[in-house]
Chains A and B, each alone.
Chain A
Amino acid sequence: MSLNNNLTEDQILLRDTVRKFAEDIIKPQAKELDEKEEFSYDITRQMSEMGFLGAFLPEEYGGSELDYVSYIILVEELARIDSSQAATIAAHNSLGVGPLYYYGNKQQQNKYLPELAGGKLWGFGLTEPNAGSDAGNTQTTAVKDGNEWVLNGAKIFITNAGTDITLGSTVLAVTGEKANGKKELSCFLVENGTRGFTQKTMHEKMMWRASNTAELYFEDCRVPAENMLGEQGDGYKQMLGTLDNGRLSIAAMGLGLAQGAFDYALNYARERKTFGRAIATYQTNAFKLADIDMGIELARNYLYDTCRKLDRKERFSKESAICKLYCSEVAHTAANHCVQLLGGYGLMKEYDAERYYRDQKLLEIGEGTSEIQRLVISRMIGCYE
C-alpha cells in the first residue's frame, strides 16, 4: 500500500469506508450492469444514503460537507471498482450540483440543492452535435419572450440527464451577440417535465455502460426568466469554471481506475506461472508494473496537492488540466498493461481487465480531450503569446 499522502484521520476513514462500500455493494453487480447496459437505481439510492450525492454541499442543504481532497478520494475509490458508478457521482457533484451551488442564487439553491443531495440527479448540458471541444460554436438558442426564455436546439452525451430520478439539467444556450461579434452564452436551469424538453437515453456505449448518458431536445421549450443561472452572458465563464473543477474528478476517475487495474494485474502476475516461474519475475513484466506504480504515486500526489490548492482558493486551472491529462494517461497505460499481463484472459469479459480497458478510454475524451488539455496547458505557459 502506498503512502498516506498526508491525509487526515477523517480522510483515511472516508477512503476506507468508500473502499469497503464499493467492494461490498458495487463490485458484485458491476459486471452484470455493464453487460446489460443498465443504470442501477438501487445502487444510486444506496450511494445517496451514504451521502455521496451532496458530497461537498454544506449541511444546510443536506450535504456531506467534504473538503475537496475528500471528494476526490470518494470518486477515486469508486472508480477503483467501477467507472460507471464513479461517473454518476463525479458528474452529479462536479457538473450537476457544482454550477448550481457556485453560481446559483439563494432561491435556486434552496429549491434544488436539498433534493440533489437527497437522491435526485442533475445534468450539465454543454456538448452539442456540432459543439464539443469547440463549445463556442454552441447552436442551441434562447430567446426572451416576456417573462420567459424560449429554448430551441439539441445537446448530446449528457451524463445523468435521462434517468427517472433526474430533476433537470443546466443548459448552455446562445442569448445574443457580443460587441466583438462572438456569441453571447448563458446558462438555464431546465427541469425535466418542462413542455418542449425531451431526454433520450443513448445506448450501445463502449464504456460507462451502467452510467446514464442522454441526448436532450428543446423545441420551443419555455422556462421562466428566474431560471437563468447568474447573469445573462455569464455562460462561458460558468462553463470554464465548472470544467476546471470537473477535470479534477475525471482525474480522480483515472487515478482510481489505474489503481484498480494495477492491483488486479500485480495480483495476477504474481500467481500466473509460465515456464515454471511467476510471470511477475520476468523483468519485462516487472518493469511494466513498476512503471504503473510510479505513475500512480506521482498522479495521486499531484492530484491531492491540486485539490488542496482549490481548498485554499488558489488558482489551479493549469494544474487541473495537468491532473486530468496525466491521470487519464496513467489509467490508459495501467489498463493496457493489465490486459497484456493477463494474456488471452485479459480479452475475455469474465475478467475485470477488459472492463478497465474499455472504461479508461472515455477519460482521454470527456470533459476536454487530451488534445484540448495540452492546448490549455500550452496556452497557460505562454506558447502562443
Chain B
Amino acid sequence: MNILVCISRVPDTASRILIGSDSKTIDPAGIKYVVNPYDEFGLEEALRLRTKNGGEVTAVTVGTAASTDVMRTALAMGADKVVLIKSENEPTDSFYVAKNIAELAKEISPDLILCGRQSVDYDSFQMTSVLAELLDMPSVSIVSALTVDSDKLTAERDIEGGKETVEAPLPCIISAQKGLNEPRYPKLPDIMKAKRKAIEERDAIPSEERVTISEMSILSKQRVGTILSDSDEDIAELVRLLHEDAKVI
C-alpha cells in the first residue's frame, strides 16, 4: 500500500509573528518553522498503516528551498521517501499547492493521500477538496479514526455534538483531525540517520494563483492570561470571568 503524506511548513505557534514590509507576507526572520501539527497526525497514521500493511510512505511539501528541515523531520519519523517541490516564494494559494501535489500523485499513484485538516499558517481548509477534485478521488475531511482495508476505508468524523462513520473506496484522500493518533517522537539514532538520507528536490510547475493575498495585519495585542490574587474582589472577578467570558459555570 502506497501512501502520500502532504506536509506544510508552518511557524511554530510559540513564534512571534511579524508582517513583512510589503504588508502581504510574514517576515520569516526569527521565526522557527515546524511540521504543521495536523500533518504530524497524517504522517503518524501513514507510518502505522505501513507497519500493518507494508508498502511505502512518501512525504511531500511544496515550499521554498528552506523547507528541507521539515522533510528531515519526516525522514526521522520514518518516511521512506521525501519530495520537496520548490517554489520561489512561500506558497499561499491552495490551488497552486494542490496542483503541484496532484502532479506528483499522478506519478506515484498512491492508494491513500493524507493531509492535515488545516495548515495552521494560512488556514484555508481547502487542500483536501481541491486535491480530490484535481485527482477525481473521494475525500473525507476531519477524520479522527481510520481503518483501511484492501479496497476501502472506514473513517470516523467529528461532527457538531456527535460522530459520523463513513466509508469510501480507495484511492481516497483524507484530512487528519486531532485525536487520530499520538504522533511518535523521532528517536535519536533515526534523527542521525535521516541526515544521510536524500531529499528529492524538484522545481514547482508554474500555475496561476487563483487567490492572492492583498493585505495582512495583526490584531492589536490581547492579553492571553490574567493573574488574580486571592482577595475577595478577585475571587468575585474570577467567578464573573468563568461565568460570563468562559461560560463554563
Contacts and interface: CB of A to CB of B under 8 A. Distances in A.
Given A9-B195, A271-B225, A66 B188 contact: yes
Interface in B196-244: 225, 227
A93 to B, nearest CB: 12
Interface in A181-218: none
A83 to B, nearest CB: 20
B9 interface: no
A21 B187 CA distance: 10
Given A9-B68, A10-B72, A272-B227, A17 B185 contact: yes
Interface in B12-60: 14-15, 30, 32, 34
B123 interface: no
A273 B73 contact: no
A11 B187 CA distance: 13
A13 B69 contact: yes
Q: Which of A9, A13, A51, A70: most chain B Cβ within 10 A?
A: A13
B117 to A, nearest CB: 21
Contacts of B30: 1
A15 to B, nearest CB: 10
A13 B73 CA distance: 7
Q: Which of A9, A49, A271: most chain B Cβ within 10 A?
A: A9
B69 A12 contact: yes
Contacts of A66: 188, 192
A74 interface: yes
A333 to B, nearest CB: 25
B185 A13 contact: no
B126 to A, nearest CB: 28
A262 to B, nearest CB: 15
B191 A17 contact: yes
A63 B189 CA distance: 7
Interface residues of B, number: 21
A44 to B, nearest CB: 15
Contacts of B34: 16
A272 B191 CA distance: 40
A384 to B, nearest CB: 42
Instruction: Please tell me the size bucket of the interface on A.
Output: 20 to 34
A14 B194 CA distance: 11
A8 B191 CA distance: 12
Nearest to B72: A9
B186 interface: yes
A89 to B, nearest CB: 11
Contact of B72 (A1, A13, A271): A13
Contacts of A273: 227
B186 A17 contact: yes
Contacts of A21: 185
Contacts of B72: 9-10, 13
A301 to B, nearest CB: 18
B76 interface: yes
A52 interface: yes
B227 A10 contact: no
Contacts of B76: 10, 13, 17
Nearest to A14: B191
Given A1-B32, A271-B227, A272-B227, A13 B186 contact: yes
A294 interface: no
A55 B73 CA distance: 19
B187 A50 contact: yes
Nearest to A20: B185
A87 B105 CA distance: 48
B188 A52 contact: yes
Contacts of A74: 188
Nearest to B229: A273
Nearest to B190: A51
Interface string A44-82: 000001111001000100011110001000100000000
A378 B69 CA distance: 43
B223 to A, nearest CB: 9
B196 to A, nearest CB: 10
23 contacts: A1-B30, A9-B69, A9-B72, A10-B76, A10-B191, A10-B194, A13-B76, A13-B191, A14-B188, A17-B76, A17-B185, A17-B186, A20-B185, A51-B187, A55-B188, A63-B189, A64-B189, A65-B189, A65-B192, A70-B188, A70-B192, A271-B227, A272-B227
Question: Which A-B residue pairs are the 4 nearest by beta carbons?
Answer: A51-B188, A64-B188, A10-B195, A64-B189
Given A1-B32, A13-B76, 12 more contacts: A9-B68, A9-B72, A10-B76, A13-B72, A14-B188, A17-B186, A52-B188, A55-B188, A59-B189, A63-B189, A64-B187, A64-B188
Interface of B: 14-15, 30, 32, 34, 68-69, 72-73, 76, 185-189, 191-192, 194-195, 225, 227
